[in-house]
Structure 1
Amino acid sequence: MWSDRMRIIAGTHKGRALKAVPGKDTRPTTDKVKEAVFQMMGPFFDGGSCLDLFAGSGSLGIEALSRGMDRAVFVDRQNKAIHTIQENLEMLKISNLSEVYRTDANRAIQILSKKNMTFTLILLDPPYKKADYEKLIRSIIKSSLLKDGGMLYCEHDAADQMPLLNKELQIIKQANYGTIGITMYRKGENEHDKIGSLPRKL
């Protein structure tokens, strides 16, 4: 069973508990994986904007805000998830830094593109085995949602082979944590700046 509580790992709201989405339809990112992921990213941000595209409880996007992002957009198609995200944002008094959309990921990409919104960090943590990662990523690229130099984070089954999109995005980090795989892309990454792939298990 999933725990109904999670915590913020670091930053302004370090240690604060977050509510999880009730039931088993949503799979929260574990604190161990979340901490490792954000250490790879910086671990802190000097402003910028974040898109949490399969937000669930909003845990990843909220972590980004706690670590210095200026704004975050949260997207999920489940009513229970949207309610949980709004509760967490209100509890932390950061609703003014956020927008929340109840819709599916593909529709959200279209909406945000029409608004000419761009992001320095995009988080993809869809239901494993149910998402077409390449289609989603290509849609993000086509819609120009990711800023130059921005990062795209994907959480996936460790057995999955993630798409190589060298003309648009460079893989800067891949790692496995048990059955969980993570792949991190950067837009406009220079060859000599690439971070080596360091598969590992925790």
Structure 2
Amino acid sequence: MRVITGTARGIRLTTPPGLDTRPTIDRVKEAVFSKIQFEIEGRDVLDLFAGSGQMGIEALSRGARHCDFCDLDQRACDCIRDNLLRTDLEQSGEIYAIDYLRMLSFAQRTRRYGLVFLDPPYQQDDLERSLEHLANGDILTDDAVVVCECGLEKELPETAGCLVKGKSARYGKVRIEVYRRETR
């Protein structure tokens, strides 16, 4: 697993030790970032269920302004910290070792994101709940993009509040859904 392009191009990232994580493979990450490549620069990013932090780190490497990383597991947060240090991006990231609902509640009062990555454990229904909170709160910028990674069996709604789903893409056993905030 490596940073594909940008200021940290080619740097290898680590994954949290001992966790049953499922890091996004480079091929899928490349496809995701090719879909949103012109919607990264200068944005504030939220990497929810961050794991190793690779999606947020890739966004930072490509010019995102700031990234908040959230993962409930402290080992994942330690891994993110290590990956931020190895990419020299630690000044652009903040790490939260809290539950995603607490993070969204906190962000509701203090943040607005232009890009959000959602990649919760596939067997849980946290993806739908996260989308609902994002869509119904005041956490997204007017031109926000939300990227969801899920298993093939997961069917996400065409719309979630202010979010409208674009084309789906399938990569092996993974489905990527990109939502954009509907303009008012």
* TM-score normalised over the length of structure 2: 0.94
> Deviation of residue 44 (structure 1)?
6.5
Alignment equivalent of 2:28, drawn from 24, 33, 36:
33
Kindly tell me: are residues 89 and 167 of structure 1, through their superposed partners in 2, closer, same or farther at Cα, counting changes over 3 Å? closer
Once the two structures are superposed, the pairs formed by residues 95-134 of structure 1 within 5 Å of their partners are 95-115=90-110, 117-134=111-128
Matched positions, count: 184
**Partners of 1:130 and 1:103 in 2: CA distance:** 17
Kindly tell me: are residues 36 and 95 of structure 1, through their superposed partners in 2, closer, same or farther at Cα, counting changes over 3 Å? same
CA contact (8 A) 1:133 1:163 kept: no
**Partners of 2:83 and 2:122 in 1: CA distance:** 24
**Cα displacement string for residues 132-187 of structure 1 (whole angstroms, at most 9, x for unaligned residues):** 32222111122221111110000001121112226511112211111100100000
CA contact (8 A) 1:54 1:105 kept: yes
Tell whether 2:170 aligns with 1:170. no
Alignment equivalent of 2:71, drawn from 61, 73, 76:
76
**Partners of 2:78 and 2:43 in 1: CA distance:** 25
Alignment equivalent of 1:143, drawn from 117, 131, 137:
137
Q: Give the equivalent residue in structure 2 for 1:199.
A: none
**Partners of 1:119 and 1:51 in 2: CA distance:** 7
CA contact (8 A) 1:49 1:70 kept: yes
Residue identity opposite 1:183 in structure 2: E
Structure whose alpha-carbon radius of gyration is higher: 1
CA contact (8 A) 1:45 1:68 kept: yes
Which blocks of at least 5 consecutive residues in structure 1 are unaligned? Answer: 1-5, 191-202
> Deviation of residue 129 (structure 1)?
1.7
Q: Give the equivalent residue in structure 1 for 2:85.
A: 90
Which blocks of at least 5 consecutive residues in structure 2 are unaligned? Answer: none
> Deviation of residue 46 (structure 1)?
2.4
**Cα displacement string for residues 177-201 of structure 1 (whole angstroms, at most 9, x for unaligned residues):** 11100100000259xxxxxxxxxxx
Tell whether 2:47 aligns with 1:52. yes
Q: Give the equivalent residue in structure 2 for 1:158.
A: 152
**Partners of 1:173 and 1:57 in 2: CA distance:** 26
Residue identity opposite 1:37 in structure 2: V
Question: Which protein has greater RCO, CA pairs closer than 8 Å, 6+ apart?
Answer: 2
CA contact (8 A) 2:119 2:150 kept: yes
Superposed CA RMSD in Å reads 1.5
Q: Give the equivalent residue in structure 1 for 2:180.
A: 186
